[in-house]
C-alpha cells in the first residue's frame, strides 16, 4: 500500500463512516452498533498499520495551494505517539458508549458525529504543517460541538455556546501566528527545532515573542490554560462518553499537542528559551495547576470535579513543555499518556454511577464500594494513579516533571516543584474523598436500604474499566520502551 493511502485512509474512513450513520436506515440499535463498531475497529487497524508501516518523514500532499503551502500529511514521532493514543482509546470509548447512550436518545446523531470526529482527530495527528493542523483543529471543534450540545437543554446549549466562542476565539489568535510564520518562517512545515528564518526575524524578536504568546493562549484554549479554562467544566453536561472524549482523549490532548507543535516544531526552543515569553507561559501553566486542583476540591459534583482535575493535569503537561528542554518535553508527554488512561477510566466509572443510579454528587455515593465493586475498584486505581503513588504511572510522570524542573536551571521551574507538590496533596484530597465515601459510608445512613438497587453495569461498560485499569498498572511497571521513544522525540531523533 502506498504512503498516500496509509496516511489518508485513517482520516477519511471514519469521516465517511460517520456520514453513513446519517444515511443508512438501520433496522435496530444492534445493527447500528455493529456498523459503528466495525468502522472504529477497522480504522484502529488502519491507523496502527500506518503508525508501524508508513515511512517516517515522508510527506503526502492532499491539496496543493502553492509550492510552499498545502494540505499535507506526514508521520513523525509526535504523530506516532498522538495517533496511537487516539486510535486505541477511541475504540474503548465507543464500546462503552453503546451501553451508556441507550437512554440518552438521538443515538444516530451522536454516533454519526462521534465517528466523524475520530477521522478529524487522526487528520490532526498526522498533519504535516501548521496550515493542515489548523484546518483539522477547527474541524475538531465543529465535529464535537453537536456532541457537547447533545441534550439540547438550556445547560447544553449554554455549554455549546461557551465551547464554540472560546474555541473560535482562541483559533483567531492561532491564525495570527500562522500568518506571521508565513513571512518570518522558512515554511509552515513542522520541523524539530523550529522554522524561523533568523535573517527575517532580526530586529523583530519582540514582536515574534508577542505573537508566540498570543498563539500559546489561542491553542491553549483546548488545553484549558487559565483564564481560558471555564468552558471545560461547563462541557460536563454532555453525555459521559463525550466528556471522556473531551477531557481525556481528543480535544484537550489536541490542545497540548498543538502547544508541542508550536513550541518545538514552529518557533523553536532556541528562540524562546530564556525569553520573557517563556516566563509568561510557564506562569500560566503553574497558575492553572493550582486553580484546577483547588476548584476540584471545592466542587461536589462528580463530573465537574473530574473536569477541574483535568484542567489541573493538562497544565502539568504544559509546565513540562514550557521548560523548553528535552527532559521537560519527556515529562510532559509522559503525563499526557498517563492522564489519558487514568482520566478516561475515572470518567467511565463516574458515568457508570450516573447511568445506574442517577446520582451525581460525592455525598450521594455512600457505600457504593460493596454494591459496585468493579466500578469502585477501578476508580480507586485511577485515583491512586492520579495522586502519583507508585507503582502506578502517575508517579513516573510527576517524577519526570520534577527531575526536569531541577535540571532546567530555570528559577520559575524550581518554584514549579512546590506547585506540583501542592497539587498532588490537593489531588489526594479530592480523589480519595470519593473513594472513602464509597467504602466507608456514614454510620447514620441506612446504606442497605438506600442502595438496594445499586449494582455494576453490564460488560459493555465494565470491560473498558478493567482494560484501562490493567493498562495503567502495566504502564506503571513496564514503561522503559515508552520513555525511550519520548527521549528520541524530545531530542529530534524520531
| Per-residue pLDDT at 445 | 63
Longest dimension (CA), the chain: 75
Whole-number Å distance between alpha carbons of 288 and 485:
28
Terminal C-alpha separation, the chain: 23
Nearest to 397 by CA among 470, 479, 453, 465: 479
Q: Which cell numbers hold the place of 432? A: 480519595
The four Cα atoms 482, 486, 489, 491 give a dihedral, to 10 degrees, of -130
- Cell numbers representing residue 476 in the block: 506503571
Say if residue 30 is exposed, middle or buried (CB neighbours under 10 Å; 0-12, 13-18, 19+).
exposed
Contact 455, 356 (CB under 8 A): yes
Whether the bond into 427 is cis, omega within 30 of 0: no
CB atoms within 10 A of CB 25: 7
To which H or E segment does residue 70 belong? strand 70-73
Task: Please say whether the beta carbons of 363 and 447 come within 8 A.
Answer: no
> What is the reported pLDDT for 442?
74
Residue 127 has phi, psi (to 5 degrees) of -60, 135
Q: Indicate the pTM of the whole model.
A: 0.93
CA distance 281 to 396: 24
- Residue bearing cell 528559551: 273
Joined together, the cell numbers standing for residue 18 give 460517520
The C-alpha atoms of residue 301 and residue 103 are separated, in whole angstroms, by 21
Asked if the bond preceding 227 is cis, omega within 30° of 0, the reply is yes
The grid coordinates of residue 302 equal 462528580
Q: How many CB atoms lie within 10 A of CB 26?
A: 16
Q: Which helix (H) or strand (E) holds 170?
A: helix 154-184
Q: What pLDDT score does 104 carry?
A: 73
Mean per-residue pLDDT pooled into runs of 10, the chain (494 residues): 88 94 86 92 95 88 86 93 93 88 80 93 94 93 88 83 89 88 87 85 86 93 88 81 78 92 92 93 95 94 92 94 94 94 92 86 84 91 93 92 92 93 95 90 63 77 90 92 91 80
Report the distance separating Cα 320 and Cα 334, nearest Å. Answer: 10
Rg for the chain, CA atoms, rounded? 22
Cis peptide before 391 (omega within 30 of 0): yes
What pLDDT does 37 receive? 92
Q: Look-up: residue for cell 516544531? A: 265
Amino acid at each position: 500500500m502506498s504512503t498516500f493511502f496509509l496516511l489518508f485512509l485513517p482520516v477519511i474512513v471514519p469521516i465517511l463512516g460517520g456520514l453513513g450513520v446519517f444515511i443508512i436506515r438501520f433496522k435496530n440499535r444492534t445493527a447500528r452498533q455493529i456498523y459503528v463498531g466495525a468502522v472504529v475497529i477497522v480504522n484502529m487497524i488502519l491507523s496502527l498499520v500506518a503508525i508501524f508501516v508508513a515511512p517516517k518523514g515522508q510527506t503526502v500532499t492532499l491539496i496543493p495551494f502553492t509550492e510552499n503551502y498545502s494540505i499535507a500529511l506526514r508521520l513523525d514521532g509526535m504523530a506516532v505517539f498522538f495517533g496511537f493514543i487516539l486510535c486505541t482509546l477511541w475504540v474503548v470509548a465507543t464500546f462503552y458508549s453503546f451501553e451508556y447512550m441507550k437512554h440518552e436518545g438521538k443515538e444516530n446523531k451522536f454516533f454519526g458525529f462521534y465517528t466523524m470526529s475520530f477521522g478529524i482527530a487522526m487528520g490532526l495527528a498526522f498533519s504535516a504543517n501548521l496550515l493542515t493542523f489548523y484546518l483539522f483543529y477547527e474541524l475538531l471543534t465543529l465535529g464535537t460541538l453537536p456532541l457537547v450540545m447533545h441534550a439540547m437543554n438550556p445547560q447544553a446549549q449554554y455549554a455549546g455556546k461557551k465551547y464554540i466562542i472560546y474555541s473560535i476565539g482562541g483559533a483567531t489568535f492561532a491564525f495570527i501566528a500562522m500568518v506571521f510564520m508565513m513571512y518570518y518562517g522558512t515554511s509552515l512545515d513542522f520541523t524539530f527545532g523550529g522554522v524561523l528564518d533568523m535573517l527575517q526575524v532580526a530586529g523583530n524578536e519582540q514582536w515574534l515573542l508577542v505573537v508566540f504568546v498570543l498563539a500559546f493562549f489561542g491553542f491553549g484554549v483546548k488545553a484549558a490554560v487559565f483564564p481560558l479554562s471555564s468552558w471545560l467544566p461547563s462541557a460536563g453536561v454532555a453525555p459521559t462518553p463525550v466528556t471522556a472524549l473531551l477531557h481525556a482523549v481528543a480535544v484537550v490532548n489536541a490542545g497540548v499537542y498543538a502547544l508541542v507543535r508550536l513550541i518545538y516544531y514552529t518557533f523553536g526552543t532556541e528562540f524562546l528559551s530564556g525569553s520573557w515569553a517563556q516566563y509568561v507561559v510557564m506562569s500560566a501553566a503553574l497558575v492553572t495547576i493550582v486553580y484546577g486542583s483547588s476548584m476540584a476540591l471545592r466542587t461536589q459534583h462528580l463530573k465537574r470535579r473530574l473536569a477541574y482535575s483535568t484542567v489541573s493535569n493538562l497544565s502539568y503537561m504544559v509546565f513540562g513543555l514550557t521548560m523548553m528542554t528535552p527532559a521537560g518535553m519527556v515529562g510532559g508527554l509522559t503525563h499526557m499518556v498517563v492522564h489519558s488512561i487514568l482520566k478516561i477510566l475515572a470518567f467511565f466509572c463516574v458515568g457508570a454511577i450516573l447511568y445506574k443510579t442517577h446520582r451525581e454528587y460525592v455525598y450521594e455515593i455512600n457505600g457504593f464500594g460493596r454494591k459496585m465493586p468493579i466500578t469502585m475498584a477501578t476508580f480507586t486505581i485511577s485515583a491512586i494513579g492520579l495522586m502519583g503513588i507508585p507503582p502506578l504511572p502517575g508517579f513516573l510522570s510527576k517524577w519526570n516533571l520534577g527531575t526536569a524542573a531541577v535540571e532546567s536551571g530555570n528559577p520559575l521551574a524550581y518554584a514549579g516543584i512546590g506547585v506540583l507538590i501542592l497539587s498532588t496533596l490537593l489531588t489526594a484530597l479530592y480523589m480519595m474523598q470519593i473513594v472513602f465515601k464509597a467504602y466507608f459510608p456514614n454510620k447514620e445512613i441506612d446504606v442497605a436500604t438506600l442502595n438496594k438497587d445499586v449494582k455494576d453495569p453490564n460488560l459493555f461498560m465494565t470491560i473498558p474499566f478493567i482494560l484501562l485499569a490493567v493498562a495503567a498498572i502495566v504502564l506503571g511497571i513496564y514503561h522503559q520502551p515508552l520513555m525511550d521513544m519520548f527521549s528520541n522525540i524530545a531530542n529530534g531523533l524520531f
